[in-house]
Structure 1
Amino acid sequence: MSKIHDLTRRSALSLLAGGAATPLLPSLTLADKTDTLALFGPPAGPSVTLAHAVASGGFSALAANATFTAWRNPDELRAGLTSGSIGLSVVPVQAAANLYNRGFPIRLANIMTDGLLYIISEAPEIKSISDLKGRSIAVPFRGDTPEIIFGQLVSHAGLNAEEDLQITYAGSPIEAMQLLLAGKVEAALTAEPSTTAGILRGRKAGKKIARVINIQDAWGEMTDAAPVLPQAGLAVTGAFMETGSEMIPDILKVLRTATSEVLEDPGKAAEQATGALGLPAPLLAASVPHCNLVARNAVEARADIERMLKAMAGKDMARIGGKLPDNKFYT
């Protein structure tokens, strides 16, 4: 995997954090192929889709060579976006909206997960956010998407995060899961596949760790809507749009096919993604059913996106740059 450049404009930008190959696509001819189509994403569910699409030859009609590279944390994503080394990547929707409203040339092409956040614990009496009162919990990526979502749910439950909870901030969902396994906290906010990893590792250690709160369900209750949390999608930078905008519709077609194939055969997709994501194939396969993988065009998902952004935005919509993104944000 290629190394992503060091952060160059961190102070200026803020991120919140198998099947057959797809047939040749009609809108591009072989002469229109690009040399390399480079895609990026986190070590999480939507990236299984990207890795499968690459490994199965889904992009063969669009590029002579297609690659997938996993970024490990929001800092790596910041670095790649701002340096220009990342043109196509799975990005937290709130982060993309914030960047767009602050003038960074980025667009949202689709939604690839309708939410993959859970709270895991050995305490079966924890059934809702309010049940966390007085308990210790590990929360990853402070200031980024998972922590913001959790904070909104805590406030909605009538709790004060600083006074009513004992929060240990973790550097990643995996670290949050590890704190729970080590007995240092009573619960952990995790994202797939670290949620599944915590349950499986706990089982080996004789711990009955379970998903006690489905964050998507809690979000739906808070917003009085369907349990849909359009958490992340494929984002496209301005540099890519300048040279490859005509490829976007076909890329989205490939991803729709790949998503269906991943859901139909998680085992095969996991085998294809294990190397790129650096995670065991059995873990990825077990995680897929809990990732709520989708491939919805951003324009079609706009109502769900805006509902989420309004709830996440905070005072004066500061977390998304002061306003909802306009039409141009949606490719």
Structure 2
Amino acid sequence: MKRVTVLIMLLIVSIIQLNLSAEGVKENSPEPVAQTLTIQVAGLKGPTSIGMLPLFQNRPDFAAGVQAEYQVVPEPQIMLSRIMSGEVDIAAVPINLAAVLHNKGVPYRFGAVSGDGLLYIVTSRSDISSMEDLKGKTIYCIAQGSTPEFILRYTLVQNGIDPEADVNIDFTYDHVSITPQLVAGNVDLAVLPEPFVSIVAAKNPAVQPVIDLQKVWARTSGTRTTYPITAVLVKEELLRSNPEAVDAFFSVYADAIDWVIVHPKETGALAEEFMDMPAGIIASAVPRLNLHFQLPAEARPRVDELYRVLYSFAPASVGGRVPADEFYE
């Protein structure tokens, strides 16, 4: 009996020691490490991403548990490939491309507007200062069959000018080849976007923007505001799984755009560093880049109007139809 009692007591002591050891292990165990969400943010090289330059420099992690990686994408086809493959989570792209991708079923949603139009009529002539003055003239226009042509045609029509009968629209040059022609004086009237307006004016001060097509659109359009030109796409999966992170990103992006508007000289330096664009030219162009951050709830009326205008000229330019409600949700 004594032997049995001793064995029982030893067993009890062993159990108590095991429990104490287990509690000690539990108390000393490290806390589980929270997983970090990595978000890929991409901006297309050029005016589309000027508002992102402070983000490229500062690379902010905009929410707890979120690590952001920023990339400047050199060409539209590379950006398209990365979106189609789902490699990027947030991307700044031309606004018509956003509609095309949506209508192809690519799983991204419209997150925000980050820039308005930047098309201007430039000339070295002294007899042109209004849309009415364009009658009877040859207007050189870049990018036949795309947004610059459609914006020009729309604003002409809205001002009572027949694009077929009252003017001659010439598509001989693209945005690169027309620049030396304007500088040399071989072309004296053209539609041009920033920063090419500033590039030409710097090389030939006689060529200046005389008509702001954004103001013409605002004056004559149904919304009485100008048209947007840059959209921020957000991957559907990210919107559903972490909307707080998306909201936090948009907050820092809006602040970045505000900084760019106030600091054109510093923005020029960043454009040279991150996008190999001439600092002085970008600094001069910033006031005419019309950077503007706006969430879909406020932006949608003018986004829809732009899409309807583009669709009226070429349905394929927006992917065959004007995007419906789900694009913005």
SS of corresponding position for 1:158: coil
For 1:138 and 1:71, locate their aligned partners in 2 and report how far apart those are by CA, in whole Å: 27
Count of residue pairs the alignment pairs up: 295
Deviations 1:187-211 (A, max 9, x none): 22222111111111113xxxx1111
Instruction: Say which is worse superposed, 298-307 or 128-137, in terms of deviation.
Output: 128-137
**Kept after mapping to 2: 8 A contact 1:113/1:233:** yes
Q: 1:154 aligns with which of 153, 156, 159?
A: 156
**Kept after mapping to 1: 8 A contact 2:135/2:161:** no
Instruction: Say which is worse superposed, 242-251 or 295-304, in terms of deviation.
Output: 242-251
Equivalent residue, structure 1, for 2:318: 320
Equivalent residue, structure 2, for 1:137: 139
SS of corresponding position for 2:177: helix
Is 2:250 aligned against 1:252?
A: yes
Cα 1:238–1:174 change in 2 (3 A) is farther
**Superposed displacement of residue 301, structure 1:** 0.8
Equivalent residue, structure 1, for 2:19: none
Instruction: From the CA coordinates, give the structure whose radius of gyration is larger.
Output: 2
**Superposed displacement of residue 124, structure 1:** 3.1
Equivalent residue, structure 1, for 2:224: 226
**Kept after mapping to 1: 8 A contact 2:98/2:231:** no
Q: Percent identity?
A: 23
Cα root mean square deviation, aligned? 2.9
**TM-score normalized by the length of structure 1:** 0.77
- Which amino acid counterpart does residue 142 of structure 1 have in structure 2? Q
Unaligned stretches of 5+ residues in structure 1: 1-29
Deviations 1:112-133 (A, max 9, x none): 1122111111113222334333
Is 2:53 aligned against 1:55?
A: no
Instruction: Say which is worse superposed, 120-129 or 213-222, in terms of deviation.
Output: 120-129
For 1:142 and 1:237, locate their aligned partners in 2 and report how far apart those are by CA, in whole Å: 31
For 1:40 and 1:71, locate their aligned partners in 2 and report how far apart those are by CA, in whole Å: 9
For 1:65 and 1:89, locate their aligned partners in 2 and report how far apart those are by CA, in whole Å: 13
Between structures 1 and 2, the one with greater helix share: 2
Deviations 1:265-310 (A, max 9, x none): 2222222222222211121111111111111112221112112222
Unaligned stretches of 5+ residues in structure 2: 1-32
For 1:60 and 1:176, locate their aligned partners in 2 and report how far apart those are by CA, in whole Å: 41
Q: 2:114 aligns with which of 98, 107, 112?
A: 112
**Kept after mapping to 2: 8 A contact 1:109/1:330:** yes
SS of corresponding position for 1:313: helix
For 1:31 and 1:264, locate their aligned partners in 2 and report how far apart those are by CA, in whole Å: 38
For 1:122 and 1:95, locate their aligned partners in 2 and report how far apart those are by CA, in whole Å: 33
SS of corresponding position for 1:231: strand
**Superposed displacement of residue 83, structure 1:** 4.1
Deviations 1:43-71 (A, max 9, x none): 11x41221212202334657545323143
**Superposed displacement of residue 316, structure 1:** 8.8
For 1:264 and 1:182, locate their aligned partners in 2 and report how far apart those are by CA, in whole Å: 33
For 1:273 and 1:178, locate their aligned partners in 2 and report how far apart those are by CA, in whole Å: 22
Q: 1:215 aligns with which of 213, 216, 219?
A: 213
Q: 2:267 aligns with which of 265, 269, 279?
A: 269
For 1:32 and 1:268, locate their aligned partners in 2 and report how far apart those are by CA, in whole Å: 36
For 1:308 and 1:236, locate their aligned partners in 2 and report how far apart those are by CA, in whole Å: 20
Q: How does 1:299-314 map to 2 (within 5 A)?
A: 299-314=297-312
Q: How does 1:1-331 map to 2 (within 5 A)?
A: 31=34, 33-35=36-38, 37-44=40-47, 46-59=48-61, 61=63, 64=67, 66-72=69-75, 74-156=76-158, 157-161=160-164, 164-171=167-174, 173-203=175-205, 208-238=206-236, 246-314=244-312, 319-331=317-329
SS of corresponding position for 1:226: coil
For 1:280 and 1:31, locate their aligned partners in 2 and report how far apart those are by CA, in whole Å: 43
**Kept after mapping to 2: 8 A contact 1:133/1:164:** yes
Instruction: Say which is worse superposed, 308-317 or 262-271, in terms of deviation.
Output: 308-317
